Chains A and B, each alone.
Chain A
Amino acid sequence: MGIEVNNLNAWYGDLHAIKDINLNIPKNQVTALIGPSGCGKSTFLRCLNRMHEVIEGARVKGEILVDGEDIYGSNVDPVTIRYRIGMVFQKPNPFPTMSIFDNVAAGLKLNGMRNKKKIREIVEQSLEAAGLWDEVSDRLDKNAMGLSGGQQQRLCIARTLAVNPEIVLMDEPTSALDPISTHKIEELVHRLKENYTIVIVTHNMQQAARVSDNTAFFLNGEVIEYNTTKHIFSNPSDQRTEDYITGRFG
């Protein structure tokens, strides 16, 4: 499912965080959003599954077409959109009162799925897909908070995959993790793009270069440059992109 963003604007109260963004995010590829802190990349990401409006005083204007349908259409339920477009957050955030199993099953169970066999199957598949199954298969009923940070983050990815979204958004998924866990998540992103369209926000330039097919450079709420990752990192057209990538600012 490709995403087509047309004239997207977003605000926090009076703060104009996203300004007139137009972007085409291709299907089954990884698109990285890079830029200095406060440039609007996370806000943009949150607009893609209507999580931005959850924050008090936040507003969005514009059009985001997923599969040709505007997710900001007047008769679109944000809950359905979030079901189709999953999200992984910066800090691992498993549900603290639930077991490992229940964390992954939460999206299914709480949306009314009753078939226990089916739920088990999906939980196993999702943990498998997130590369966590071998590490937790013997303690599925243990509390999820007992896992390490990296495992928790992969658990959150499994939880997102369990509801079978079409698109997975990742908001700096490795910024709180050590290099080994980061490596595991990056590998995972590589494998996931076969089945999912992935948009990933990252502060880590090497990570963007390693995992993504396309890269968008954000600055002050605008997209300065958007191209294939190869192009952005080898031959950026804009001076500001080059300055940022080479570490001259930001």
Chain B
Amino acid sequence: MTSQSLSARKVKNVTMIGLTVIGTILALIPLFSIFAYVIARGMPAINIDFFTELPKPLGEEGGGMVNAIVGTLIVVGISGLIGIPVGIMSGIFLSEYGRNRFGRFISFLTDVLLGVPSIVVGIFVYVLLVLAMGGFSAYAGGIALSILMIPAVTRTTEEMLKLIPSHIREAGLALGLPKWRVILFIVLPSATRGIVTGVMLAIARVMGETAPLLFTAFGNRYWHSSLSDPIATLPVQIFTYAISPYKEWQAQAWAGALTLIVIVLIFNILARVITYRKNH
């Protein structure tokens, strides 16, 4: 090897590393700009009232979004109650029992479902549930979001389980354990961290969904009286306020956006803490 080729290689090496660093920075710029901008615009409208009070009628000062914050948690909660178990179970099926034609078919459908635009899911639930039940409701909103959540949870669960090496499964089977116990008590716990991360991403994704909620949860300026009634959610509230011509409302929309980001962040941190504790 000549010294010239070595120095040429070094130059190439530095160039390529430089390019990856530049790429990373380029990818992070929008992220941090969004954070910075949302914080800058949102902070002024954040105060105790924002988290404790209902929206004030137009023209009155103050008011908050407490109904929308709670509403988002409720609607996402409903979607999680449906979407997480169904998604995890489908994921288990695809990874552990689905290595056949039927499994591949389901897997294909999951991919299709993953690509369905969220507004289409909204219309679907609107026609099927909202019209049938006679009105917008928290349930309809939750179900619409769960339809978006299921394929995402299914996919990550499947991928995470497939990462568990087969010799772990064999070790369980060779102990004379039935397959379902091996899956439930040995394979699944080994994949917890990945699955929880996937579930969190799915939750974060649906938490910001607006389009399907317009047709299903609709929105509400007051507290919802029951889960079968229209309910306020942060994304819809942000949307309504942001497109309004009033300065006050626009400021509150930014505050709502900031709140939404923080909620998602809290969920992510919680998930990390829980899975970290489990593994240490």
Contact = CB atoms under 8 A, between A and B. Distances in A.
Contacts of A54: 169-170, 173
Contacts of B170: 51, 54, 87, 89, 93
B57 interface: no
B168 A96 contact: yes
Interface of B is mostly: helix
A110 B183 CA distance: 11
B184 to A, nearest CB: 9
Contact of A107 (B176, B189, B190): B176
A49 to B, nearest CB: 7
Given A95-B186, A96-B190, A86 B174 contact: yes
Contact of B176 (A79, A89, A93): A79
Interface in A127-165: 156, 159-160, 163
Contacts of B186: 95, 97, 106, 110
Contacts, number: 73
B173 A95 contact: no
A109 to B, nearest CB: 8
A163 B190 contact: no
Given A95-B186, A96-B190, A84 B167 contact: no
B185 A110 contact: yes
A80 B167 contact: no
A12 B170 CA distance: 17
Nearest to A80: B176
Nearest to A94: B171
Which of B170, B172, B185, B186 counts the most chain A CB atoms within 10 A?
Answer: B170
A56 interface: yes
Interface string B161-197: 0000101111111111110010001100110100000
Contacts of B168: 93, 95-96
A219 B190 CA distance: 38
A83 B172 CA distance: 10
A40 B29 CA distance: 57
A123 B22 CA distance: 55
Given A56-B99, A95-B186, A89 B171 contact: yes
Contacts of A16: none
A95 B160 CA distance: 16
B172 A79 contact: no
A89 B173 CA distance: 12
A206 interface: no
Which of B173, B175, B278 counts the most chain A CB atoms within 10 A?
Answer: B175
B7 interface: no
B279 interface: yes
Contact of B175 (A91, A96, A97, A163): A163
A160 B175 contact: yes
A163 B168 CA distance: 17
A89 B190 contact: no
Contacts of B181: 110-111
Contacts of B177: 79, 106-107, 110-111
Contacts of A80: 176
Contacts of B169: 54
A82 interface: yes
A87 B173 CA distance: 10
A49 B279 contact: no
A94 B168 CA distance: 7
Nearest to B184: A110
A91 B167 contact: yes
Contacts of A111: 175-177, 181
B190 A49 contact: no
A242 to B, nearest CB: 34
A-B interface, 3 closest residue pairs, ranked by CB to CB distance from nearest: A83-B176, A107-B175, A87-B174
28 contacts: A54-B169, A54-B173, A56-B99, A81-B176, A82-B173, A82-B176, A83-B176, A86-B174, A87-B170, A89-B170, A89-B171, A91-B167, A93-B167, A93-B170, A93-B171, A94-B171, A95-B171, A95-B172, A96-B168, A97-B186, A106-B175, A106-B186, A107-B176, A110-B175, A159-B171, A159-B175, A163-B175, A163-B176
Given A91-B167, A106-B186, 16 more contacts: A54-B173, A56-B99, A80-B176, A81-B176, A82-B175, A82-B176, A83-B175, A83-B176, A86-B174, A89-B170, A93-B165, A95-B171, A95-B172, A96-B190, A107-B176, A110-B185
Interface of A: 49, 51, 54, 56, 79-84, 86-87, 89, 91, 93-97, 106-107, 110-111, 156, 159-160, 163
